[in-house]
A = this chain, B = another copy of it.
Amino acid sequence: MSVGIRHDDLRRRNRAMVIAAVRRAGQPSRTEIAATTGLSHSTISAISSDLIGEGILTESKPSEAGSLKRGRPQVGLGLNPEAAAVMTVVLSLNFLSVAVIDYAGQVIAEEQRRLDTLTMSRDALIGECTAIVRRRLEDPDLDVRSVARIALAIQGITDTHARAMLWSPITPHTDIAFADILEDEFGIPATMENDCNMMAIALRWRDPDRYRDDFIAILLSHGIGMGLVLKGELFTGTHSSGGEFGHMIHRPNGALCRCGRRGCVEAYAGNYAIWRNARQLGEDAEPVADVSDADMRALATAARERDGPEREAYRKAGEALGYGLGSLFALIDPAPVAMVGVSAAAFDLIEPALRKAIAQTAGGQHSKSISFDTEPNELPLIREGCAMRALTFVDQEIFAPGVQARAGSVGKNVA
């Protein structure tokens, strides 16, 4: 059950709030912070004075040259880039990418590597990850005083506590406790996140007007993934990262899915499924391991040129996505959707069937008003999401510590 609020929690929470306000607003003045947080000027003054003294925030002279106003000019508060750094590690099919990011959110170093994730041994996969992290940490060019947090992201299922990868399509191995492994190796707190959840977080930071309290990010890639923000919080399953939209059942006993089951949404809308249908291989055909982005783009071009099996394949994908979204909307009500990944570039081919299908569901009552946005490139989004997740952890747990972790409502998934 929820736990009492101690007197000392007060300061901690309000510190966290000031830091969060600065991270969101960019260069807010103390007065602006007071307005958005609802705290008094005196309190904000005291807290920001502390934070500046601790090197967490910095004062920056009025950024705008056009200071037309009369009185004492506002002085903006900004995040001190040198207060800390975080590292992101994104592990995707045959590709490993890390970045070091300063406290203000700027990338200060990165490194990428191709690897054969599908055939690598478990130890080799882990070894590559730790090695690349070590290289970045030991880079003498980089004055990385303090990497305070590492956030990993992987396609697939992670556990609720963001400690381990439970299953992933990019490797045959399961249950790898990446967070613990990195923490043991480097002594830096780490979390293991789901890629689509990070996409959702990144969208929220990129465009808070459009993606605020309720929205959906769907990854249209080899598999189908989803990141869901509801009521301002990242939605996760009770045991796992959850939100396995791609494995909702579209047609009982339908097409063969990569997961071994039948009729999943992914078995109609994943790249391999579109490929399979376009090649007319039949719904029982074994899913191929990978379809290159170039091949997918060729498929889309063919579908746009003539009415053939390619176009029909995209129609089926749209239908599956539409019915799936309709079922999802029956549960959560409609919300803006961002389509991310290679096939988002072919959304023109998918959309008509999708809208037709969704209109036939209870959740799609006002299907006209549901807005879709597309973003073909998922990797930058995932990286940004990881960075923001790691940075907000630092904001809260390192720069505003003091609340003992108790049973109950600990660790809200604030997106």
Contact = CB atoms under 8 A, between A and B. Distances in A.
Interface of A: 1-7, 10, 13-14, 17, 20-21, 24, 36-39, 43, 213-214, 230-232, 237-240, 242-245, 247-253, 259, 261-262, 264, 319, 323, 326-328, 330-335, 357, 360-363, 406, 409
Contacts of A38: 3-4, 6, 406
B7 A10 contact: yes
Nearest to A404: B38
Nearest to A14: B4
Given A244-B362, A249-B323, A251-B252, A36 B1 contact: yes
A217 B335 CA distance: 24
- Number of this chain's copies in the assembly equals 2
A44 B36 CA distance: 33
B231 A213 contact: no
Contacts of A334: 238-239
Contacts of A409: 231-232
Contacts of A245: 330-331
Contact of A331 (B1, B43, B237, B406): B237
Nearest to A250: B252
A327 B360 contact: no
B251 A333 contact: no
A238 B326 CA distance: 15
A303 B37 CA distance: 62
B36 A244 contact: no
B213 A238 contact: yes
Given A213-B238, A406-B38, A247 B363 contact: yes
A245 B406 CA distance: 33
The CB with the most chain B CB atoms within 10 A, among A36, A213, A238, A319, is that of A238
A156 B280 CA distance: 44
A39 B4 contact: yes
A243 B293 CA distance: 37
A213 B406 CA distance: 15
A48 B38 CA distance: 29
A357 B5 CA distance: 46
B6 A39 contact: yes
Contacts of A2: 17, 20
Contacts of A20: 1-2
Contact of A362 (B21, B213, B264): B264
Nearest to A328: B331
The CB with the most chain B CB atoms within 10 A, among A24, A231, A334, is that of A231
A106 to B, nearest CB: 23
Contacts of A363: 244, 247
- What 4 A-B pairs come out closest when comparing CB atoms? A247-B362, A237-B333, A4-B39, A248-B327
A238 B244 contact: no
A1 B24 contact: yes
A213 B239 CA distance: 12
A237 B332 contact: yes
